[in-house]
């Protein structure tokens, strides 16, 4: 690393001392007890990609069943399970954990010049709870009791009367646990971004990636509790016979839908906001230009999260609500187009006025822009109430949200995998193979999802395991299925590229792309303490202000914010980013994983009606919390 290489003996000695203080336990124990945001990020990455593979296989089976009319690959019972598992897996166990858990965790402390997240043990707890919820949820499938009422899980279909098995309980309890994990993570991101930015990083110098994550975390924090309440109502109804949704006893089936979509639509923005953040990181690097209209883009990211809370009823336009409600929510759903439009034109204009170099990460961002605009435009048509009342619950909607959630949200994640691969592994990915993988995935996405617009307009409903051959939906479905396999081929090529490059790639050095944000000023991969000296921040693109980081080298020699006497990181004021205090950070701990394991087992016991066992687990969880707090880091 340039900063250390140029340093004198005093600087090198300071770095050696940091190495000793931040050394982690070796081997498996090290991973199980780690509080290092990078290791936790990597565990999120691997786990969410495994769930992605599971969700992908589920999708391929469904596409095979729908390849032609009257296919008999799976029956409706199995199809409904696959459909539910696919939706829940992709949203709760793939996209959110990958975008916030993996990318957010790994990158945010590095981008803001911090040594870890604000609450490192809480961060570990988030991951282990996420893993626990995933295992719990997939246990249902393993024992043949997978949920089958769709990811939206409407009552009364999901009530005990119409879904008597354990499937819905796996859904509800798995998602309550998953929600706890995400809520904790969101709080952690908010505090980290507000308090742990390096001195000098006032709000106007904060990377747009962090704005996007801030907005997504804000949405998560306020949307998820609503889903949790909804799921608790459902479980209380199913397990103890309460009547939240039963109109015969004063309940209301639409209550489920209102609460579900009050969470469910902000959820869409929670999914795409991190993608916006990745786009605003990749575009400047490969166009050698700062983001055009930076303040407007930052504002737009925050506005999207805010307005996202006012549009949920557009998922319920056909439930027979009064016209005035429909008009209000149609207007809100149209207004949210504006912040998205601002960002789209800002991305485009940065490329037009910059000097773009179309390497793999930027190609994925170009694909993302095209998908986001296309999916956004079909989204506008769904805000037009009468048209929505025609096409809702048809394949037109399936096409729309796959353009948005797959094309717009996941493409930047794929581009981001390539972009930060050298930082994480210290090796370069294979550029040529990377570009081929882009074209395969790009073509595969269009071939799979474009025909669904047409089958939807021709009247094909969603969530059907089969369809008649005489309604003109055959060719569209057959092409979609071919596209799904093409898409899979492209994804496999990405996996091959990254695995091969991990083993054989060229050494990357700290900053192979000449990128401007702070994560590129440290070694690849970064040391456990991230930065030998907390970097100096002079603009949102500090790497371009001082490419050699000469000033940081001198500060290392002087011992200015090296903090080589303890497990420490600086905290700053939330707006101006002035140094506030030095905070002590906890090191590795066995308690987060213990607490998560005990909680997961407790949930499994509630699910299987072993309430005494669940009570014992709750007591153990309380004990684990006490043990956790018995070991506070010493004050600076």
Q: How far is the CB of 291 from other proteins (least distance, A)?
A: 9
- Nearer to other proteins by Cβ, of 27 and 320: the residue is 320
Q: How far is the CB of 584 from other proteins (least distance, A)?
A: 42
The Cα 392–Cα 318 span in angstroms is 8
Q: In angstroms, how far is the first alpha carbon of the chain from the final one?
A: 28
- Nearer to other proteins by Cβ, of 341 and 507: the residue is 341
Q: How far is the CB of 278 from other proteins (least distance, A)?
A: 18
Q: How far is the CB of 319 from other proteins (least distance, A)?
A: 5
The Cα 463–Cα 550 span in angstroms is 59
Contact 541, 521 (CB under 8 A): no
Residue 580, SS3? strand
Q: Which of 177, 197, 45, 180 is nearest to 117 (CA)?
A: 197
Residues in the chain: 636
Q: How far is the CB of 107 from other proteins (least distance, A)?
A: 24
Q: How far is the CB of 550 from other proteins (least distance, A)?
A: 23
Q: Is residue 248 exposed (0-12), middle (13-18) or buried (19+ Cβ within 10 Å)?
A: exposed
**Cα separation values, 574 from 105, 503, 515, 518, 580, Å:** 19, 41, 25, 18, 10
Q: Which residues pair with 108 in a beta bridge?
A: none
The Cα 317–Cα 325 span in angstroms is 9
Q: Which of 287, 277, 509 is nearest to 409 (CA)?
A: 277
- Nearer to other proteins by Cβ, of 84 and 569: the residue is 84
- Nearer to other proteins by Cβ, of 98 and 398: the residue is 398
Strand residue runs (E) in 365-445: none
Residue 427, SS3? strand
- Nearer to other proteins by Cβ, of 29 and 381: the residue is 381
- Nearer to other proteins by Cβ, of 342 and 413: the residue is 342
The Cα 302–Cα 218 span in angstroms is 9
Q: How far is the CB of 342 from other proteins (least distance, A)?
A: 3
- Nearer to other proteins by Cβ, of 29 and 319: the residue is 319
Q: How far is the CB of 253 from other proteins (least distance, A)?
A: 5
Q: How far is the CB of 371 from other proteins (least distance, A)?
A: 11
Q: Which residues pair with 584 in a beta bridge?
A: 568
**Cα separation values, 460 from 81, 177, 200, 338, 384, Å:** 20, 35, 56, 31, 20
- Nearer to other proteins by Cβ, of 65 and 425: the residue is 65
Contact 611, 604 (CB under 8 A): no
- Nearer to other proteins by Cβ, of 161 and 608: the residue is 161
């Amino acid at each position: 690393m340039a900063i250390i290489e140029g340093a004198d003996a005093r600087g090198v000695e300071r770095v050696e001392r940091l190495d000793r203080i931040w050394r982690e336990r070796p081997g498996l124990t090290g991973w199980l007890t780690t509080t290092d945001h990078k290791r936790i990020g990597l565990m999120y990455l691997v786990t969410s990609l495994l769930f992605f593979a599971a969700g992908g296989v589920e999708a391929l089976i469904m596409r095979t069943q729908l390849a032609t009319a009257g296919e008999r690959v799976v029956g409706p019972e199995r199809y409904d399970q696959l459909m539910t598992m696919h939706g829940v897996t992709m949203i709760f166990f793939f996209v959110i954990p990958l975008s916030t858990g993996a990318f957010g965790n790994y990158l945010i402390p590095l981008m803001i010049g911090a040594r870890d997240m604000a609450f490192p043990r809480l961060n570990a707890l988030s991951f282990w709870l996420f893993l626990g919820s995933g295992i719990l949820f997939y246990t249902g499938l393993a024992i043949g009791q997978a949920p089958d009422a769709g990811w939206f899980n409407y009552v009364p279909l999901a009530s005990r009367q119409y879904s008597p098995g354990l499937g819905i309980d796996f859904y509800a309890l798995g998602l309550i646990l998953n929600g706890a994990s995400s809520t904790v993570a969101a709080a952690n991101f908010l505090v980290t971004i507000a308090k742990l930015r390096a001195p000098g990083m006032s709000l106007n110098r904060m990377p747009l990636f962090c704005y996007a994550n801030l907005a997504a975390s804000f949405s998560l924090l306020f949307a998820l509790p609503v889903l949790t309440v909804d799921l608790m109502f459902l479980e209380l109804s199913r397990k103890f016979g309460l009547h939240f949704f039963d109109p015969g006893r004063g309940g209301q089936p639409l209550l489920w839908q209102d609460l579900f979509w009050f969470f469910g639509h902000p959820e869409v923005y929670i999914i795409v906001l991190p993608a916006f953040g990745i786009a605003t990181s990749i575009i400047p690097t490969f166009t050698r230009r700062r983001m055009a209209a930076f303040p407007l883009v930052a504002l737009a990211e925050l506005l999207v999260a805010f307005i996202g809370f006012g549009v949920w009823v557009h998922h319920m336009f056909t439930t027979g609500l009064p016209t005035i409600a429909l008009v209000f929510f149609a207007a809100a759903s149209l207004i949210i187009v504006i912040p998205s439009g601002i960002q789209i034109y800002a991305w485009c204009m940065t490329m037009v006025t910059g000097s773009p170099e179309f390497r793999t990460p930027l190609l994925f961002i170009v694909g993302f822009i095209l998908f986001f605009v296309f999916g956004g435009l079909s989204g506008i048509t769904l805000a037009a109430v009468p048209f929505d009342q025609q096409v809702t619950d048809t394949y037109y909607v399936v096409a729309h949200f796959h353009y948005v959630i797959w094309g717009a949200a996941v493409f930047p994640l794929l581009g981001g995998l390539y972009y930060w691969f050298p930082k994480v592994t210290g090796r370069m990915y294979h550029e040529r193979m990377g570009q081929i993988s882009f074209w395969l995935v790009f073509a595969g996405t269009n071939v799979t999802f474009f025909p669904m617009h047409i089958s939807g307009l021709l009247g094909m409903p969603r969530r059907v395991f089969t369809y008649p051959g005489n309604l003109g939906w055959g060719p569209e479905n057959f092409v979609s299925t071919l596209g799904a396999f093409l898409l899979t081929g492209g994804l496999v090529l990405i996996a091959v590229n990254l695995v091969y490059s991990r083993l054989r790639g060229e050494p990357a050095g700290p900053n192979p792309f000449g990128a401007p944000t702070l994560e590129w000023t440290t070694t690849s991969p970064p040391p456990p303490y991230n930065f030998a000296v907390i970097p100096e921040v002079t603009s949102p693109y500090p790497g371009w202000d001082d490419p050699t980081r000469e000033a940081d080298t001198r500060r290392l020699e002087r011992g200015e914010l090296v903090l080589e006497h303890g497990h420490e990181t600086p905290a700053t004021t939330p707006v101006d980013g002035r140094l506030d205090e030095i905070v002590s950070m906890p090191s590795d701990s066995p308690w987060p994983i213990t607490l998560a394991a005990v909680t997961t087992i407790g949930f499994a016991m509630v699910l299987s009606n072993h309430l005494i066992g669940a009570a014992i687990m709750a007591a153990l969880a309380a004990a684990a919390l006490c043990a956790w707090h018995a070991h506070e880091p010493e004050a600076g």
